[in-house]
Amino acid sequence: MASDRLSTDLDAHQLEELEKKYDSALNTRDNGPTLTRAIYWATILFAAYHVWTAGFGTPVDHVHMGIHLAGLFLFIFVYFPVRRTPRSLSYEGAGPLRPGNVPLYDWAIALSGMLAALFLWISWRGIDGFGLNIPEQALRQGNPTSVDVILGTILIFATLEIARRTIGFVLPLIIMVFMVYALFGPSMPVQILQHPGVDWHQFVNNMYFPSEGIFGITLWVVSTVVFHFVLFGVVAQRMGLGQFFVDNAMMLAGRYTGGPAKVSVVSSAFFGTISGSSIANTVSTGSLTIPNMKKMGYPGYFAGGVEAASSAGGQITPPIMGAASFLMAEYLEVPYTTIVIAAIVPALMHYIGVLSIVHYTAKRLGLHAYPKDQLPRFLEVWRKGWYTIIPLIALLVVLFSGYSPNMAAFVGLSLCIVVGFCGVDRPLTLAIPLALLAFIFWKASPASGEGFSATLAGILAALTLVGSIHRNERKDFKDLLNSFHVGVQYALAVGAASAAVGIVVGVINTTGVGFRMGFMVTNGAADMAAWVHPFLGWIPSEAFSLTSLQQFISLVLIAMACILMGAGLPTTALYIMLVAVATPALTQLGVPPLATHMFVLYYGVISEITPPVCASAYAAAGIAGANPFRTGLNAFTLGLGKLLVPMVFVYAPTILIVLPEHFTLMSFLQVSITCATGVFLIGTAVAGYFITAMGVGGRILMIIGGLLLVAPSGSSDLIALLVVGLTALPQVIRKRAEGGTNHATR
């Protein structure tokens, strides 16, 4: 394949080490050989358990979440030392005090945490024996026993510790602030924040027992949905779907101006449909695109910024959206398809912005497309890779047929195994597609209850048969096991962060602090608006009225809080926390619930490309050999579309399509077209080139025109056209003059 001939500066091992460096999920401790093998097989069993329960039924919540959390404790305390240093991560030999190179205190915390996680299952019907007299759970709710308090305390602090070890101290620190607030409510210095407070027994009751706190909706959705899609993304990529996406992006975008950068944008958008990690996206596609961008003439920091911004966009790209789409559907109690449809146009705005900057930067630098002989050919790419898209098709068909996300993930993962690892040249492996066919027909039978329709069963059976008999190369089952192992490693940080964020949700539900904070935000914005209004109120526009200024300042404050609080968190964890904290304030402003949730998700994801905490930009800088901070700044600049569009959700929810009280075809077309045009014009200003190169004044005017177009108002659109016209006219004249001079010279 032609893309295989494109050289890269880093080999597979170097890329793996780079990913380990910047992705905390993979930067783990070297254990002894025996423990390494044991934990390797334990992760595979852990993955297999989740795949099985997705297809054949999930145990009740306290059992399933207990098993999931117990697995997190085991793997994290074995893999992650107290402090990650070169010495603590290296193998120093095992001994009585360090079995398997894991200190005894880590083993003690892991085992006590596992006991605490599984105790609800063990004691649900009560325990009468072994010196214990513990009533059943229903009788202990609100009145925990001493054993509950002890184990609940262990669970709370063990959960904070696994979050700290996987993603750093910022999230646990935020959570501890919420805990202090819950426990010392009467002592708060600000009157509006004061509340009666709870004692430790009641706090443990609220955090430990199911329905809220650690065993609440956050851990439930992560253990039943998010984990499965993280696993699907890893297995699908290892099966070959990632390379298939890159090759198709080469064909679509490589032939145009600034080809390598556009390949980066398109391939990252494709890859984002299956990936739950922007770092994995950056490393997988950036290993090809970044070196070729540099060879074509892009500066290294810009090449890394393009890849980081494009990869971070994967977290808002339907259908998976870093698994946040499923959480959003659960929170809002709407069909999953509603979230996917609502996310389409906003995601396009982000990529329009990145492509605009990439295109006009290439124009300014005089860069060209890939040579035709380096572009892959359509027939060759699809002949070699068409089969890799079968699992994604099956997953989407099940999802859009109205079945649960975990059932879709089960079918998708099963077809990944069938398509990528089973074939007629390996007769024993045919047992897997046969078992999948049996499952499909069983789900279509009356015996399964609410199973598959005949049409869906027929489609899935056909995909299974086609996936079994294709003649392309299969991977070894060792590759499958390795992908399961890596998938579990990726899911550890997400699971730990989400379990810990459950404490924040529990505190907010217990104290009502979310509404108090919302009131503080709106009151603070009112004071700021009163100060600003005398300077702007003379402008004859509703946008500069006191009420409008208060709303806008409130939105800016909430957006800034989302970016700061989301720094360094996995997409699902940041979404859960920000929804709990920021939603009340947005609700007080009268923002529709769906627009509220999309608003906090977008600004939370922006933190992934906002210095100083922007791991995907740092990973891209490692591939590009560029300054990490400068790469992060470029990634942030390239993501300006993602920065602006959430404001449109609030002022013109018609752009989300699915809100009938706000949507009309004409309003949607006006808002989406002007918004896209505005993002495009701002992209030209960032690049410093439109019809010809732009000076500082022209760039400022273009930004003003772009912002006025993004603002959903007919009057602002007319003013924008005037501003852009005044900016573009001199460029047209200059371009014609340059063309005439060149013609005379020839």
For every residue of 321-381, DSSP letters joined together read GGGHHHHHHHHHT--HHHHHHHHHHHHHHHHHHHHHHHHHHHHHHT-----GGGSPPHHHH
pLDDT for res 45: 97
- Residues 152 and 207: their CA atoms lie apart, in Å, by 8
Domain spans of the chain, in order of start = 10-219, 423-472, 667-746
Helix (H) or strand (E) holding 333: none
Residue 628 tokens read as 């990490």
> pTM to 2 decimals?
0.85
Question: DSSP code of 613?
Answer: B
Instruction: Spell out, as residue ranges, where the chain has pLDDT lower than 70.
Output: 1-26, 275-277, 448-450, 539-543, 739-746
- Residues 258 and 361: their CA atoms lie apart, in Å, by 8
- Amino acid, single-letter form, for residue 356: S
Residues 671/652, Cβ–Cβ less than 8 Å: yes
- Residues 296 and 60: their CA atoms lie apart, in Å, by 56
**Interacting residues of 88 by C-beta distance below 8 A, sequence separation 6+:** 29, 81, 82
> Which residues lie across from 98 on neighbouring strands?
95
* pLDDT tens-digit series, residues 587-611: 878 889 999 999 988 888 887 777 7
> Which residues lie across from 128 on neighbouring strands?
133
3-class secondary structure, 474: coil
**Interacting residues of 484 by C-beta distance below 8 A, sequence separation 6+:** 43, 44, 47, 48, 231, 235
3-class secondary structure for 428-461?
HHHHHHHHHHHHHHHHCCHHHCCCCCHHHHHHHH
**Interacting residues of 666 by C-beta distance below 8 A, sequence separation 6+:** none
3-class secondary structure, 495: helix
pLDDT for res 2: 42
Residues shown for the chain = 746
pLDDT for res 284: 73
- Burial of 235 from C-beta contacts in 10 A (0-12 / 13-18 / 19+): buried
- Amino acid, single-letter form, for residue 622: G
CB atoms within 10 A of CB 192: 12
**Interacting residues of 146 by C-beta distance below 8 A, sequence separation 6+:** none
pLDDT for res 18: 59
